[in-house]
Chain A
Amino acid sequence: MTETYRGAAAVAHETQLIARIAEGDRRAFEELYTLYHRRMARFLTRLTRRYELAEEVINDTFWVVWRKAGDFRGDSQPSTWILGIAYRKARSAFRSAARLAERDLETATEALTSEAPANSEELRDWLGQALQQLPVEQRMAVELCYELGYSCEEIGTIMDCPPNTVKTRLFHARAKLQKLLPQLATPQADIARENQQS
């Protein structure tokens, strides 16, 4: 399950696609878009709870990719470049729409549920709700780390911040999630075991 931790061949292929996009090649553009749409739709939908907003962020991101492909020099991986654009677009989309205003960590709300999740699918639903309560920087760090599997340094590149800031954001996110989902504090032995086996 390292869909996002791409090998050198994938990185080379995506770099080549970006070079073709810089020359106006729409087939390359469609290929790259399709590659990223699924990953981005998934985590952005979880960040926003709304597909239309996720789609808006994806298209705003690829609008920039289309126009700026010629500026991509390959100093970073294509995926960190693209997700970095996506992060900035997501942040401004959330803010301008005032749909998900930043919330103060200290005013942590009460737990979403006191029941233990029956399975990891249920836990995921609750995590989705809990993520809504985090500031966008923390939500993004959570998705990039746990779901997309980026290293601390890669997340720093995407979010344009030092690795220590990434660690701090995740630290606060973890504390908040634990407050919202107390069952995380006492993980169900069976879920943990099931998880270890897979």
Chain B
Amino acid sequence: MMTQTRNDHEECWLQLPWLATGRLSPGERAAAEEHVRGCTACAAELERQRLVCAALREPERVTHAPGPSFRKLLERIDAAGAAPAPEPVPDLGAHRAARTRRLRPAAAWRPPGLAWAATFVFALGVGMLAPTFYRWSQPAYSTYTRAAPAPAGVLHIAFERSLAVGDVEQLLRAAGARIVEGPDRNGIFGVAPAEESTDAGAITPRMRALAARLGSDARVRWLQPLPATAAEPGADRTAAPH
């Protein structure tokens, strides 16, 4: 056995917590174990370290569910309008073309609240949308009637702020919807019928049925109105948002 020096002892003493937790490198561990075998003080301290370690790793008696804390944090993020990183102002045409490929819409450039929707649809309406889209079924949304609606195939929706991320997913799944955009900094998602591609570029009966289902859910804070069009006979009535 090697002679124990004072240096060995001091070095080993400092390393004992990690000898107890098994987090020394193989070399350090071999040296420390060698010292402990010949040093009663270190051997006793190692026992105490193991005791402390076991006590602090006892299973918890009380666990806290993360859900409520996470909801508080999301509220704070939404209140601050915090996007993780600023995004460049997108080209609207490119945005529309890329819409179905991107999970996340450009968020940073939108003005707060619902105002962004009007800006958005108005800008698109300038050259891209057919005149039949100008007719709206909901007088409550008359502010939008001079603009064209948002691109067909994607329905914009916002949920109660208190709704957890998991609840939003559950709600959408139950309604037969999938998320194709968002949420943006205002909590607005773009959704589409789960079984349908958004490439169709038209308001399909499935889309109208989905809007009706979502519009009747009390947890939906806002739903973008769909245009009523004569071109789609037999389509469901547009969902009535509240």
Contact = CB atoms under 8 A, between A and B. Distances in A.
Contacts of B57: 1, 146-147
Nearest to B60: A42
A120 B14 contact: no
Given A146-B17, A146-B21, A120 B51 contact: yes
Contact of A196 (B23, B50, B52, B104): B50
A66 B132 CA distance: 43
Contacts of B49: 146, 174
Given A127-B56, A145-B17, A66 B64 contact: no
B56 A124 contact: yes
Nearest to A54: B64
B69 interface: yes
Nearest to A65: B84
A180 interface: no
B23 A63 contact: no
Nearest to B70: A33
Name the interface size band of chain B: 35 or more
A24 B107 contact: yes
Interface in B48-64: 48-58, 60, 63-64
A171 B14 CA distance: 6
Contacts of B175: none
Interface in B81-117: 82-85, 103-104, 107
B52 A38 contact: no
SS class of chain A's interface: helix, strand, loop or mixed? Answer: helix
A30 B165 contact: yes
Contacts of A69: 84
B77 interface: yes
B74 interface: yes
Nearest to B21: A149
Contacts of A5: 23
A24 B104 contact: yes
Contacts of A145: 17-18, 21, 23
Interface string B2-43: 000000000001110110111110000000000000000000
B146 interface: no
Interface in A33-75: 33-34, 37-38, 41-42, 45-46, 51, 55, 58-59, 62-63, 66-70
A191 interface: yes
B234 interface: no
Nearest to A46: B56
Interface in A115-149: 120-121, 123-124, 127, 142-143, 145-147, 149
Given A23-B84, A55-B69, 12 more contacts: A22-B84, A70-B84, A120-B51, A120-B58, A123-B55, A143-B56, A145-B21, A167-B14, A184-B48, A185-B48, A195-B54, A198-B54
15 contacts: A5-B23, A23-B104, A26-B74, A30-B165, A123-B51, A124-B55, A124-B58, A127-B56, A146-B20, A146-B52, A152-B23, A167-B14, A178-B48, A184-B48, A187-B47
